[in-house]
Amino acid sequence: MVLQPQARYIDAMPEPIYLDHAATTPVRPEVLEAMAPFYGPRFGNPSSLHRWGREARAALDEARERLANCIGARPDEISFTSGGTEADNLAILGAWRVRRKEGRNAIVTTPIEHKAVLGCVHQAAHEGAEERLCRVTADGVVDKSSFDQLTRPDVAVASVMWVNNEIGTVQPVADLAVVAKSRGALFHTDAVQAFGKISIDANAVPFDALSLSGHKIGAPKGCGAIYIRRGTLLEALFHGGTQERGRRPGTENVAAAVGLAKAAELTCAERASETTRLRALRDRLERGIRERVPDAVVHGAGAPMRAPHIVNVSVPGTDTESMLMALDLQGIGCSGGSACQSGSSTPSHVLSAIGVPRELISAAIRMSLGSLSTEASVDRVVEVFAKLVSKARGLQPVA
Amino acid sequence: MNTRVLVAMSGGVDSSVAAALLVEQGYDVVGATMKLFCHGDDIPDRPCCSLDSINDARRVCQTLGIPHYVLNLESAFGHDVVDNFVDEYARGRTPIPCVRCNTFTKFRDLVRKADGVDSRYVATGHYARVIGGELHRGVDATKDQSYFLWGIDRDVLSRMLLPVGIQSKAETRAIARRLGLNTAEKVESQDICFVPDGDHTKIIRRKLGSSAPALSPGAFVLSNGTVVGQHDGYARFTIGQRRGLPGGYPEAMFVVAIRPEDRAVVIGPREELLGRGVIAREVNWLVSTDSRQAMAVGARLSVQVRHRAPAVPATLIRDDGDEIELALDEPVAAITPGQSLVLYDGDRVLGGGIIERAAGNTRARASLPVLAA
């Protein structure tokens, strides 16, 4: 028997369809091309004083400027990180550790945040912080009056995501930032799913810190950035050198910074046309599913604003795990709630926070559109999905 | 399109090789690891549940070029297997969770998952065989696991593939080595999967509290009622056990009974451990209706009351459907409530049940029941 180490099941699939752009995206060819020199002749360390160092430094400075331009920031307000999670850690823990010394010990956030934010808040609580979670509506939007009520003058930092990664609802970040500022609290927003989908402008919305991730927008995994408004003090997570103004010591990942800047520029330039295209595809997908499966429930569908790329749907009488497997074996890649380290699906904390009944939570499928999505692929997904649903409903569920 | 088979992959060598053999035989193989419990922070080396086992299984699937999924069956396994395990100990009995896992988890819940992905077959790494729609012992007598499979739904037999059942464990390892599977040299665990440190009282304490009667002090008594000492919880004992008993007797003493009603652990010499008959409940038959009808009162068959014990000749003397009684030709030691009674005709498994109690005492040699396969 000769075993081929490559995944031969993929070859056997009929036209694989990637419908999980909210999980990650392919690196864009332009991005890869922009990065290539930094894995070749321009290998220098930006901190070195010689020509190799200068070349790298120039690329890093330029990348910082270009990324800053994408969100109405100044270059000194951008620090490159290893990704969204690190940016969230730096913003929340960094802010709270500075400001608890001023008697501000509370953190306000929402129960529908990404685990990268909730994990930081729990860590701060473990170190003595007071954790306050805002109410959210059944449509998956933060209740402004609850936020207002909880954001008292003892709050160090308030963190509310811009676009929810599981259901795509847009949060009223502009209003919340104003409230937080009026109470002297630092306002952070995780914009990992928002970038490229809605307009982000540091001049229009008074957030103090904002997290970005590269791999959601066509840059490689392992790179991201944090925006830190001038005058905002954060305690660094790492200790060592003075790179990134001491906020993020360690030799800079020049290639990744260049790639992130390139991806951000491309994404911003295409934002209007791409969101229009994705919205149409999303509506087509949703309409198709509703027509074929009339009792399908789309979570967050009633929110005043939704990002154009995410459809989170539950069909009564199905279960996430079996549907994801069956879809995958048909060549369609979607996702469930947040994945556990083991790879098994765990019930979504987001859906449970917005009051979705248990049997619908355990049936939720997140489909997220992006660069690889087309009308034809959406139509095929609707076909296959509807077929799998009727099949699943003929089967008994596991207790 | 090849016939699809969903393989339950524990991350051990047997199920790894089962998957490999099925790939070799040309099936459309899909690997699945069932996540059945979560240790939380109890086991520092295992940060998330059975993560290492899941990783091992996934690595094998990558080598084989087949998809791998993790199926979260924690909640069903919790009530079907773990809760029952704890309840049985609370009742002074000695359960075999693997039997219930096979019955409810692998060959019921997993089969439903298989249905969901159009999988005709379900496979495992059990050392047993399905021949003509009937269950038989595995070829390797030292590894035979048919004892643990008596409880499955008979209709599932036609969908079961047990590729390693036709070979020895040594052959299984040789195949794993030949294919360079990462699980080839994995040490076999005799532990119950959700009791990884061998101390089953921990999970009883977690579920029932440390003041549970099963974990509270009680008396060691002789069968004549004389109190001869104190123990620290009857859940620590099983029929036939010698360890941890009061000493000072001319002959070896064994646990011969556990009485949850007064928390007594009854000890006695070897003779008191022997049973000439056995009563079993939750009876399940794995043979066809015709064969079953031939199994009337008076039928002669072989019975096995413990894993790795020899099957002994017996006569079916009572059959009330859910409950049966057998008379044993020779007395058998340590017939233990909660263990399985499995009925054989040679290598063919006829059916089985959960031992309710022994009926009648006499003389034979003692050995301990095993808890896990």
**Helix-helix angle B201-208:B83-90, to 10 degrees:** 90
- Mean pLDDT estimate for chain B: 91
pLDDT-based confidence at A161, cuts 50/70/90? very high
| DSSP-derived secondary structure for A320-383 | HHHHHHHHHHTTEE-B-SSBPTTS-B---HHHHHTT--HHHHTTEEEEE--TT--HHHHHHHHH
What are the CA-CA distances from residue B109 to residues B105, B146, B156 (Å)?
5, 20, 11
pLDDT at A10: 47
Could you give the CA distance from residue A155 to residue A152 in angstroms, rounded to a whole number? 6
pLDDT tens per residue, range A307-354: 999 999 999 999 999 999 999 999 999 998 655 555 666 789 999 999
Spatial contact of A232 and A209, defined as CB atoms under 8 Å apart = yes
| pLDDT over threshold 70, residue A166 | yes
Please indicate whether residue B186 or residue A351 has the higher confidence score (pLDDT): A351
State the first-to-last Cα distance of chain B, in angstroms, to the nearest integer.
35
How far is the C-alpha of B72 from the C-alpha of A362, rounded, in Å? 11
Q: What is the pLDDT of residue A209?
A: 98
Position A14 scores a pLDDT of 66
Kindly tell me the sign of the dihedral angle through the C-alpha atoms of A21, A23, A26, A32: positive
Whether the per-residue pLDDT at A136 is higher than 90: the answer is yes
What pLDDT is stored for residue A397 in this prediction? 53
Per-residue confidence band for A2, with pLDDT thresholds at 50, 70 and 90:
very low
Alpha-carbon gap, residue B160 to B53, rounded angstroms: 23
Question: With contact defined as beta carbons under 8 Å apart, do A328 and A12 qualify?
Answer: no
Instruction: Confirm or reject contact between B38 and chain A (CB < 8 A).
Output: no
Q: Which residues 272-301 in chain B show a CB within 8 A of chain A?
A: none
How many other CB atoms sit within 10 Å of the CB of residue A217? 24
Cα distance between residue A227 and residue A225, in whole Å? 7
Q: How confident is the model at residue B189 (pLDDT cuts 50, 70, 90)?
A: confident
The CA distance from A279 to the nearest CA of chain B, in Å, is 31
CB proximity under 8 Å: A 17-56 to B:
none
The per-residue pLDDT for range B236-291, each reduced to its tens digit, is 999 999 999 999 999 999 999 999 999 999 999 999 999 999 999 999 999 988 88
Strand order in the sheet with A186-190: A78-81, A224-228, A209-213, A186-190, A155-159, A106-109, A130-133
Percent of chain A with pLDDT over 90: 91
> Is residue A108's pLDDT more than 70?
yes
**CB–CB of B117 and A4 under 8 A?**
no
Q: Which residues of B49-69 are buried (b: 16+ CB within 10 A; e: fewer)?
A: bbbebbbbbbbbbbbbbbbbb
Residue B179 in this model has a pLDDT that exceeds 50: yes
Residue-by-residue DSSP string for B241-299: --TT-----SS--EEEEEETTTTEEEEE-GGGGEEEEEEEEEEEE-S-HHHHHH--TT-
Mean pLDDT of all residues in chain A?
A: 94
C-alpha closest to that of A216 among A312, A335, A83: A83
Residues of A in contact with B62 (CB under 8 A): 5, 7
The kind and range of the H/E element at B303 are: strand B300-304
Band of residue A6 on the pLDDT scale cut at 50, 70, 90: very low
B20–chain A nearest CA distance, Å: 9
User: Percent of chain B, pLDDT > 90?
Assistant: 80
Check residue B44 and give its pLDDT: 46
Mean pLDDT of A221-237: 97
pLDDT band at B47 (very low <50, low <70, confident <90, very high): very low
pLDDT of B193 reads: 85
Q: Among partner residues A5, A321, A399, which is closest to B63 by beta-carbon distance?
A: A5
| A2 close to B (CB below 8 A) | no
Beta-ladder partners of B302: B313, B344
> Is-contact A326 B117, C-beta < 8 A?
yes
Q: What is the pLDDT of residue B191?
A: 78
Contact A398 B112 (CB under 8 A): yes
Q: What is the DSSP letter of A238?
A: S
Residues of B with CB below 8 A from A5's CB?
62-63, 65
B106 contact A CB<8A: no
Of the two residues B77 and B364, the one the predictor is more confident about is B77
> Among A318, A324, A325, which would you mutate to test the B interface (most chain B Cβ atoms within 10 Å of its Cβ)?
A325
pLDDT on residue B363: 38
Per-residue pLDDT tens digits for A185-202 = 999 999 999 999 999 999
The share of chain B scoring above pLDDT 70, in percent, equals: 93
The pLDDT value recorded for residue B295 is: 83
Window 328-367 of A: residues touching B by CB (8 A cutoff) are 328-329, 340-346
The pLDDT score that the predictor gives to residue A15 is: 83
Smallest Cβ–Cβ distance between A344 and the set B24, B63, B72 belongs to: B72
Tell which residue, A278, A386, A286, has the closest CA to residue A327.
A386
Nearest beta carbon to residue A321 from set B20, B63, B71: B71
Q: What is the mean pLDDT of residues A149-163?
A: 98
Q: Between chains, do B69 and A7 touch, taking CB under 8 Å as contact?
A: no
Minimal CA separation from B104 to chain A, in Å: 10
Residue A12: predicted pLDDT: 52
Q: Is B101 a catalytic residue?
A: yes
Nearest CA in chain B to A318: B116
State whether A342 and B65 contact (CB < 8 Å): no
pLDDT at B190: 73
